[in-house]
Chain A
Amino acid sequence: MPSTLEKIRVLGENSKYDICASTASSRTDKYPKLFGNSKNWVGAAASAGICHSYTPDGRCMSLFKTLYTNKCIYNCKYCFSHTCKQRMSFTPEEYARTFMKLYSMNVVEGVFISSGVCCSADETTEDMLEAIRLLRFKYHFQGYVHFKCLPGVSQSLLREAITLSDRISVNSEASTKEFLSEIAEQKDFNNDIILRQRWLKEIRVKHNLDTLKIIKDMKEDSQVKYQELMIQDRREDGYKKFRWDGAPILNSGQTTQFVVGAADGETDLDLLKQIDWGYRNIDLRRGYFSSFIPIEGTPLAGQQAASLSREHRLYQSDWLLRIYHYKLNDLKDILTEDGNLPKGDPKIYLAKKYFEGRGPLDPNFASYKDLIRVPGIGPISAKRIINLQSKKFEFKKREDLKAVGVVLKRAEPYLLINGKNQRTLDHFTHLSPEETSWREIA
């Protein structure tokens, strides 16, 4: 019988390639306590977001991240558990107690519970849920819980997981059915993954609207009125209008993760298409990309590792889709012939394309949509500029822009400040007809 320490060593190592580590939550205290009104409650998700430790690659380590069991009926080619000869599982009580100890030491902020599939998805999920039930109702832990949905789990268990967790994720691993069958042939892309993701969305929306109705009946709260709209409101492109909708149940929504570079021939475009679909159709809160690292002893041991810069570029592009409201078609314009993102910051490539022929932008008259296209201007500084425009403020100096948070070093080549445009060396080495006309304006 392995000791708890041994289990943490083995099961922690088996889960290290799962890289979801954020503890983001917008849960508030304005709703009745979800896990009962015990006076002995412990933990807080409302003020989450503090990282207590960092691993040597700089990733934050805020969650108690281990597998529940590494016994698995699946035979995924990229998976670490291929190489692990020791098979073990936590008991629910052992898992909950160990976490509470770490929480009392102030070294972790919440739980990330994932698992191999032992016997069946339902049986393992039932055990995982038991551990979370103990945490919630025996140890009265009200903090952050990220629950990993196993492929093929039944709807009734998913319903319970939703009511107990802050965030649930279903790992897509690959962007299409074909690519998934290449790396995990036993998994059914449509049934095990997509269908579960759709269920998660439907159950979350229904649960939250029902809960808000109950809260509305209990107390006349004006907040509740538009909370309902926030949960359902969408942008023109089908993305959720309010990413943080303040929902009382499964507040941090659902996420997914892709293994980048494991399936042969899978391009960045495939991954971006799938994540774009996720934002529009299943209310995905965000996606994670994990560069494939070949592990000795697995069937993919001889395959080349995916570069970390590819993973970084995918994150940058995902950010552009999700936060900057770029369209997928915009990103398609800058892809290389093989369907991958070019080396370097995608926003700079997009800006070069966008401002070609348009000339530099005057921040005094620019719209939000144009401002957001300028490298060095993010959503917050763009909103500040729009806010100041409405107050008839005129940007005349570089310092005015610096004061609203614009990164001038990146933004200046695309801006017209007091009628002048700061050029970079690039402009003089590759002058095109459009660019010469810019100079005339300046």
Chain B
Amino acid sequence: MEGNRVNEDDVKKRDPLIVAGCAKGYTKEELLSNLPRHNKFSPLLIKQIKLIPEVIFRNSGTPIAKKINRMMREVTTEAYRAKQFTRTEINNRGVLFGVVMLKHRVIDRVLKYFHERWPKCIICLYNEYSQKTSTINEKGIIHEYISPLKEIVDKISENRPLIRYFDDIQFSGEEIFETLYNSQFISERENIPYFKKMIPDACFNLPGMRDSVEKRFRKKTLDKFL
């Protein structure tokens, strides 16, 4: 009986009516840990954040709160977009590589995202903005190099054995994805404004999307109307 009561209490604690936090926005801890990732971050901002109550930031009513929330949004959005739209390749030595364009210091987040998915691979991402190549190894340790991507990938691959698993999937996938993408098109449901909302213009500047099948769909040629 006693044991049952403990369990019921536990369930009550997890009742959907109880939510953590009382307002939208970010906690001070989140601000302090994420803002230094912004490329326009200055230590002065940290001092200001420490002095201003959290509720001001959450309400986003003052110019400083607006600025800080905007900066937070830029950081989180950039990391999210990189996870979404970075297109990668994998070689038969288990090296996964791709190109990103990150203004802010979020490369570690993107690397960890790929590391979670391919824990036995070495991930190499070349950042077009900083012109550096970052890698994460099987143990989750991150390194940064000034050399270009191809050089780094070749160097890492040299020391790794050929792995049959990755050798099995060494064929061109671009055409496969393009075919799959085109096959899902339902002309009756076409909704270009919504499509544009889901993939905003800025995303087509990302390295993985510059020459993507989505872009070709979005920008119709005159032939389609004739």
Contact = CB atoms under 8 A, between A and B. Distances in A.
Interface of A: 4-5, 8-10, 12-13, 16-17, 39-44, 46-47, 50-61, 64-66, 97-98, 100-107, 139, 143, 222, 225-226, 229-230, 233, 241-242, 293, 305, 308, 368, 379-380, 383-384, 386-388, 391, 393, 399, 402-405
A233 B14 CA distance: 12
Determine the main DSSP class of B at the interface with A. Answer: helix
A105 B177 contact: yes
B195 interface: yes
Nearest to A223: B10
Nearest to B115: A44
17 contacts: A8-B176, A44-B117, A50-B84, A54-B199, A56-B192, A56-B217, A57-B195, A58-B191, A61-B184, A101-B176, A103-B117, A104-B173, A105-B174, A229-B7, A242-B14, A305-B188, A384-B23
A182 to B, nearest CB: 22
Given A403-B24, A405-B24, 7 more contacts: A42-B117, A43-B117, A55-B185, A55-B186, A57-B191, A66-B180, A100-B169
B2 interface: no
B191 A104 contact: no
Interface of B: 6-8, 10-11, 14, 16-19, 21-24, 55, 58-59, 61, 80, 83-90, 96, 98, 113-114, 116-120, 165, 168-169, 171, 173-177, 179-186, 188-192, 194-195, 197-199, 208, 214, 217-218
A225 B217 CA distance: 51
Contact of A5 (B59, B117, B176): B176
A56 B185 contact: yes
A104 B198 contact: no
B34 to A, nearest CB: 18
B73 to A, nearest CB: 16
B65 to A, nearest CB: 11
B177 A102 contact: yes
Contacts of B191: 56-58
A1 to B, nearest CB: 17
A383 B21 CA distance: 10
A403 B169 contact: no
B98 A106 contact: yes
Contact of B173 (A57, A105, A387): A105
Nearest 6 pairs of A and B residues by beta carbon: A12-B183, A58-B194, A57-B189, A54-B198, A226-B10, A383-B19
Nearest to B15: A241
